[in-house]
Structure 1
Amino acid sequence: MNQKKPIQSHRDLEAYQLAFDAAMQIFELSKKFTVEERFSLTDQIRRSSRSVCANLAEAWRKRRYEGAFVAKLSDSEAEAAETQTWIEFAVKCNYIDIEPGRELYRTYNRILGKLVNMIANPSPWLMPIARRQ
């Protein structure tokens, strides 16, 4: 039997795990960006990729209130889309090779899909008190 471990924290969410791993990949890749990009593209791509995780963690803590939960998930979704844009720039500027860039972009598509599903159907994720409102 293939039973999934119950989700007890935001770290157990597949979307969070994918986003965290992708953010760490971006961190490693961005170490090779030119010095002139340190305060622009490097900071932007690192910030947005990390914000996907941070907003997911915040959303998890706001599960008492469906509106607040969905709002933070929406913030996470926006940050994931922003990260995809920075990935495109990094590839076009030849800071990230095409294939690793495509793979990262696909990873963010998976993350976005999971976030959109959670936003469209938040009920399973809400705390029992939120369901009674």
Structure 2
Amino acid sequence: MSLARQCYKVTESFPKSEAFGISLQIRRAAVSIPCNIAEGWGREGAKEFSQFLRIAQGSTKELETLLLLAQDLYPQHAVKAPELLAILAEISRMLRALMAKLSTKPR
């Protein structure tokens, strides 16, 4: 959830015209990652958990794209984007590892 908090802080400095544009999209994608992990964990069994992990993984790619776009559009406001992208890459790696582990578990 630290990444989501950091994304909220970064987007606070974006132009007000982006309040319902890229700022909102970044916030939604960032929040979606831990929420899908938590929701999947609360479901029955590894199969459902894996499905929610895949959704969370998709949100990492969405957030990556949005942060790269923000870097291009608002470089003066998105100075923390490289740091956030590095954290995001680590989260994505951990999700892939967990999904691989779940797929090798006997059912």
Question: Structure 1 length normalisation: TM-score?
Answer: 0.73
Counterparts of 1:51-66 in structure 2 under 5 Å?
51-62=32-43, 64-66=44-46
Residue aligned with 2:19, SS: helix
**2:55 is the alignment partner of 1:75:** yes
Unaligned regions of 5+ residues in structure 1, if any? 1-19
Runs of 4+ aligned residues of structure 1 deviating over 4 Å after TM superposition are: none
What is the rounded CA distance, in whole Å, between the counterparts of 2:7 and 2:46 in structure 1? 31
Unaligned regions of 5+ residues in structure 2, if any? none
Larger Rg: 1 or 2? 1
Give 2:9's aligned residue: 28
**2:91 is the alignment partner of 1:111:** yes
CA positional deviation for 1:34 = 0.6
Question: What percentage of aligned pairs have identical amino acids?
Answer: 24
Q: CA RMSD in A?
A: 1.7
CA positional deviation for 1:108 = 0.4
CA positional deviation for 1:123 = 6.9
CA positional deviation for 1:72 = 0.2
CA positional deviation for 1:89 = 1.0
Give 2:29's aligned residue: 48
